[in-house]
Amino acid sequence: MAVLPIRIVPDSVLKQKAKKVHAIDRSIKKLVRDMLETMHVEPGRVGLAAPQVGVPLRVIVIGIPEEEDIVLINPQIVRRRGERIIDEGCLSVPGYTGQIKRAEAVTVKGKDQNGKELRVKAEGLLAQALEHEIDHLNGTLYIDHPEARETLRKIQPEETGL
Ligand code: NI
Segment 68-101, tens digit of pLDDT: 999 999 999 999 999 999 999 999 999 999 999 9
Q: Which residues are placed with Cβ below 5 angstroms of ligand 1, an ion?
A: 90, 162
Contact status, residue 52 vs residue 61, Cβ threshold 8 Å? no
Structural domain count of the chain = 1
* More confident: 84 or 44: 84
Tell whether the model's pLDDT for residue 158 goes beyond 80: no
Segment 109-154, tens digit of pLDDT: 999 999 999 999 999 999 999 999 999 999 999 999 999 999 999 9
Give the CATH number for residue 18: 3.90.45.10
Asked whether residue 161 is domain-assigned, the answer is no
* More confident: 93 or 156: 93
Tell whether the model's pLDDT for residue 156 goes beyond 90: no
Length of the chain equals 162
Asked whether residue 60 is domain-assigned, the answer is yes
Asked whether residue 1 is domain-assigned, the answer is no
Asked whether residue 65 is domain-assigned, the answer is yes
**How many Å lie between the centroid of ligand 1 and the Cα of residue 136?**
7
**How many Å lie between the centroid of ligand 1 and the Cα of residue 28?**
20
Q: Please tell me the predicted confidence (pLDDT) of residue 29.
A: 98
Residue 117 a catalytic site member: no
Q: Please tell me the predicted confidence (pLDDT) of residue 43.
A: 85
Asked whether residue 98 is domain-assigned, the answer is yes
Asked whether residue 92 is domain-assigned, the answer is yes
* Cβ neighbours, 10 Å, residue 23: 8
* Cβ neighbours, 10 Å, residue 140: 15
Q: Please tell me the predicted confidence (pLDDT) of residue 40.
A: 95
Asked whether residue 162 is domain-assigned, the answer is no
Asked whether residue 6 is domain-assigned, the answer is no
Which residue segment(s) compose the domain that 91 sits in? 12-154
Considering the candidates 68, 104, 133, 158, report the single residue annotated as catalytic. Answer: 133
**How many Å lie between the centroid of ligand 1 and the Cα of residue 94?**
10
Segment 12-38, tens digit of pLDDT: 999 999 999 999 999 999 999 999 999
**How many Å lie between the centroid of ligand 1 and the Cα of residue 25?**
25
Contact status, residue 75 vs residue 134, Cβ threshold 8 Å? yes
Q: Please tell me the predicted confidence (pLDDT) of residue 160.
A: 66
